[in-house]
Structure 1
Amino acid sequence: MDDTGKVQDNGLQGQVVWITGASGGIGAALARQLAARGARLVLSARRADVLEAVKADCVSAGLAPDAVLVLPLDVIAVDSMPAAVAAVLARFGHVDLLINNAGISQRSSCLETELDVYRRLFEVDVIGQIALTKQVLPHMVSRGSGHVAVTASVAGKVGVPLRTGYCAAKHAVMGFFDALRTEMAHLGIAVTTIVPGFIRTDIARNALTGTGAPTGVADEDIDGGMDVDDCAAAILEGFASGTEEIAVGKGAEMDLLALKRNDPTGTFRLLEAMAADVVARRPS
């Protein structure tokens, strides 16, 4: 905030920002904070009613109702994306920043995870992000400017127990968007990867079991993690400073990023011990 108590826009005033996974968690927190900075918003997720509630928060934060477009979208439904992009362009004319934030996690061992669960994780967490990005990028390239971001994870840097599918998907996301950055730089398009640790959201409760059903169970690491609004503020600060890989979190999990770079073998042994402890504590 500045000395008048007003939130500074950090260059976001009037920018058109499209957020997927905007119905809750990091996506909704980003929407509220972007609204306070005067950005025009496109809010996408599967449930229109929940998106409308997020829109109401954004209007309460100071945005005019017509500055927020609620656009329900299931990122698995790739065939619906051209029409979605057309709707955004019809309302706002362009997209300045696309935040690919839709995603789902997992809590099951490889041995108990059905192949369809792996397919779903990749459809939502990888293919959906790539597909929407490919629809939006040509319009950014034609303007010679734009910014694409994706919410990855510390699990996109290290392999952790009960998340073989989630880790695989987030590693793929990191690889794709890191490579995309190299291709887009000379075209004036920025690419940012967001690497959260444990953030207090419903991601654990919504995570898939080995059969594909939601766990419906809280995770003490997630519940003890960084406040989601603090996470969103850190992400926006990273955007403003031009940070291309934004690591955000407050716990020991963030130390794994440096440990994996500096001591891969030590990281493997540490996480193997963690897996043994997790298995020992699971209900039989």
Structure 2
Amino acid sequence: MYPGIQFSDKVVWITGASSGIGEALAVRMATRGSHLVLSARNEAELQRVATLCRNGGAGDVVVLPLDVSNYSSMEPAAQQVLAHFGKIDLLINNAGVSQRSFCVDTDFDVYRQMMDVNVLGQIALTQAVLPAMVARGEGHISVTASVAGKVGAPLRTGYCAAKHAVMGFFDALRTEIAADGLQVTTITPGFIQTNVSKNALRGDGKPTGTTDDNIAGGMSVDDCADVIIAGFESGEPEIAVGSGPEMGLLQLKRDNPVAAFQALEQMATQIRQTP
């Protein structure tokens, strides 16, 4: 366990802050008096979230549009934040994109995008922020991974590969920077009521435009944010969040991996048989 984070007066940078989990976290941190940097590609939506945060009690709020797949923009963005605030207390790598297609039907460019956005973009931004944290001897880096970063699920070969990579990178980073006084928290959501499936890519690279039943019936994004905030405040290095049967897969994979594989194979068969 880590010392719990007290968010008052902390500088928190959130990517993917224009909707979903990122937005909900920003709003909750605002009520705790955090200073916020809100990043995503959609500036208009970021401005909307910024207004909610200012009205909710945030300190200074900076809107910083960012495309995490544009790696060369990370260093200038980090320097801009540091010039404004003088520090970054917590970076939450939350931007991401999912997938809904069988491997045999998936263009290779979809796999490339899974890695660019979900893995390499997170690493690039983390590398841009890390030196200032190390020099200060204080800081916290987090990433929104997924249950898909622990188990392999059908229709998500690229997404699972990316989220497994994210878990591996940040688990390893945790070991490297602990002696510098820095902390890493990984977050593994299950089915949360966001636009993740609507924005997920089909095999041809186009968004599905539809919401999965399991996402629609998942944990509310507000409840999800409450669990994550509580995890930060209590010092959990890995925060699992969700309320459905998918969360049981985490334990099943550890206790009986063969049973977990069989359950997921049955899921794939059911998907194939569904008209």
TM-score (ref. length: structure 2): 0.98
**Paired amino acid for 1:47:** N
Q: Are the aligned partners of 2:148 and 2:163 in contact in 1 as well (CA < 8 Å)?
A: yes
Report what 1:22 is aligned to: 17
SS of the residue 2:38 aligns to: strand
Aligned structure 1 segments of 4 or more residues deviating by more than 2 angstroms: none
Structure 2 residue corresponding to 1:96, chosen from 86, 89, 99: 89
Q: Are the aligned partners of 2:36 and 2:58 in contact in 1 as well (CA < 8 Å)?
A: no
Structure 2 distance, partners of 1:97, 1:63, is 15
Counterpart mapping for 1:40-119 below 5 A: 40-64=35-59, 67-119=60-112
Structure 2 distance, partners of 1:189, 1:25, is 27
**Paired amino acid for 1:19:** I
Report what 1:31 is aligned to: 26
Structure 2 distance, partners of 1:228, 1:63, is 20
Report what 1:268 is aligned to: 261
**2:115 matches 1:129:** no
CA offsets, 1:34-66, max 9 Å, x none? 0000000000000111100000110111225xx
Report what 1:139 is aligned to: 132
CA offsets, 1:57-98, max 9 Å, x none? 10111225xx00000000011111111111101111110000
Report what 1:5 is aligned to: none
SS of the residue 2:101 aligns to: coil
Structure 2 residue corresponding to 1:215, chosen from 186, 208, 219: 208
**Offset at 1:257?**
0.3
Report what 1:230 is aligned to: 223
TM-score (ref. length: structure 1): 0.94
SS of the residue 2:197 aligns to: helix
CA offsets, 1:186-212, max 9 Å, x none? 110100000000000000000000010
Count of paired positions? 272
Report what 1:190 is aligned to: 183
**Offset at 1:10?**
5.9
Structure 1 distance, partners of 2:204, 2:189, is 26
**Paired amino acid for 2:194:** T
CA offsets, 1:141-168, max 9 Å, x none? 0000100000000000000000000000
Report what 1:245 is aligned to: 238
**Paired amino acid for 2:65:** P
SS of the residue 2:126 aligns to: helix
Structure 1 distance, partners of 2:56, 2:29, is 9
Gapped runs of 5+ residues in structure 2? Answer: none
Q: Are the aligned partners of 2:198 and 2:208 in contact in 1 as well (CA < 8 Å)?
A: yes
**Paired amino acid for 1:172:** A
**RMSD between aligned residues:** 1.0
Structure 2 distance, partners of 1:121, 1:75, is 12
**Paired amino acid for 2:49:** V
CA offsets, 1:97-135, max 9 Å, x none? 000000000000000001000000000000000000000
